[in-house]
Amino acid sequence: MAQKPSIPKGTRDFGPQETAERNYIFDTIRSVFKTFGYAQIETPAMENLSTLLGKYGEEGDKLLYRILNSGDAFADVDMSRPLTPQVCEKGLRYDLTVPFARFVVQHQNELSFPFKRFQIQPVWRADRPQKGRYREFYQCDVDAIGSRSQLCELELVQIVDKVFEQLGVRVLIKINNRKVLTGLAEICGFPDKVVDITVAIDKLDKIGLDAVKDEMREKGLTDAAIAVLEPVLTLSGSNAEKLAQMRAIMGASETGLKGLDELEELFGFIEAAGIKTPAEIDLSLARGLNYYTGAIFEVKAQDWQIGSICGGGRYDNLTGIFGLPDMSGVGVSFGADRIYDVLKGLDKFPKGLCSATRLLLANMGPDEVRYLLPLAAALRAEGVAVELYPDAAKLKKQFDYADRKAIPFLSITGASEMEQGVVNLKNLASGEQKTFPRDDVRGIISFLAQA
């Protein structure tokens, strides 16, 4: 019995239409990145596990895909020693930020700082597949490293504003600061529980306030400590009002007050820059990655129900893990797969993305093919996408092919046209037909440009 073809759960195939739509996303994001002076890099799909482990927290480490050293990795296993280090030395990258930090340290003598890079590549997570959550997905990262100025944060907000304006998607930018979260842990009396508090808070949108409070209790927080945190998680009002209320709550936490100062400065920049996209302080925003140390961002679509479609933050110590201390960076990652789902759901993709072909040359026989080959070459040399149907099939079949691929123009050239040295072109949408000398490439291009 033949094996039924399938792909792993949490992965997807993309046909020509989907690929064209995804490239539209990538091209839009890439073009915006470039206008802000960011340069593209790429890193390997796999990294050494020593590079990846311990950078994403305990929950993140569980989602790393480990790669066997070879097909016979278990051949010389010593069962008296831990198994995983013996058979797995590498893993698929979980995100693009940690590999970027490794890249910066490894190539530091070749780079000019601040170094502004973007990266568009797939990542892998052994997550539970569900709507909007995949095991293989693309990230589009943009980072600036080597400066602590919050003008870098502002630039990321401007990039988010510009990308989603060009994609035609209304979004909301949520911003917090990890120093504020550290301050909350201090004022509630559990400074050593900042990671547990952050991980729990980060689930607020997914599981609700009561479940978050239960998780905090499981992590050892008292009801009194939770009572201190709860008003912060439900804070409302304008950004200025939230900051004022938080200053009263934060009290003597120097770290927390520093975080509030940074938020106030950043929102001052955002106002001065005239950002069109609404941006708000969300003090329940935590971002569950341990390496964030300052501003943190999350972007939500306003008109489509899905998780965050972009997120990131400031990280001050990531390169220090690889031997390059005091190199602060900040970045955001655009979730291309979720953005794809939003654009698809809102019907925001431009029409005709898949059909790059402008003209189909019908195949009427070998002599006609030889007659048309120079024309096809001349048009392609001018950047016009042209197809010559490969078989001398019935015209209906060739018309159907053009229709299925949304090719707007068709040329049917037979013996009489060859004798006259001309070609016939038909606009399949309007029905208009016109005859041109075969060597009138400019005239043909002008006709093809009308639709």
Q: What is the DSSP string of 167-190?
A: HT--EEEEEEEHHHHHHHHHHTT-
**Residue 212: per-residue pLDDT:** 86
Give me the helices (H) in 117-169, please.
Answer: 151-167
CATH of domain 16-345: 3.30.930.10
Domain 359-448 has CATH 3.40.50.800: yes
Distance (Å, rounded) from C-alpha 199 to C-alpha 212? 9
Question: What are the start-end ranges of the E strands in 290-328?
Answer: 295-301, 310-315
Using CA of residue 67, residue 69, residue 74, residue 77, what is the dihedral sign?
Answer: negative
221-275 pLDDT, tens digit per residue, is 888 888 888 887 788 889 999 999 889 888 778 999 999 999 999 999 999 999 9
Position 74 pLDDT exceeds 80: no
344-380 pLDDT, tens digit per residue, is 999 999 987 777 899 999 999 999 999 999 999 999 9
Q: What are phi and psi of 66, to 5 degrees?
A: -95, 145
The two beta strands, 279-281 and 171-177, are parallel
The domain limits of the chain are 16-345, 359-448
Q: Does the fold of domain 359-448 match that of domain 16-345?
A: no
Cα 106 to Cα 13, 19, 38, distances in angstroms: 35, 34, 19
Position 83 pLDDT exceeds 70: no
**Residues 6+ away with beta carbon under 8 Å from 113:** 145, 146, 147, 327
For residues 327-344, give the mean pLDDT.
93
Calculate the average pLDDT of the chain.
90
Distance (Å, rounded) from C-alpha 399 to C-alpha 226? 69
The two beta strands, 422-427 and 409-411, are antiparallel
| Cross-strand pairs, 425 | 434
**What does pTM read for this prediction?**
0.83
3-state secondary structure at position 220: coil
**Residue 110: per-residue pLDDT:** 96
Report DSSP state, residue 130.
Answer: B
Report yes or no: 41 and 119 within 8 Å, Cβ to Cβ.
yes
**Residue 44: per-residue pLDDT:** 97
Position 196 pLDDT exceeds 70: yes
3-state secondary structure at position 49: helix
Using CA of residue 52, residue 55, residue 56, residue 60, what is the dihedral sign?
Answer: positive
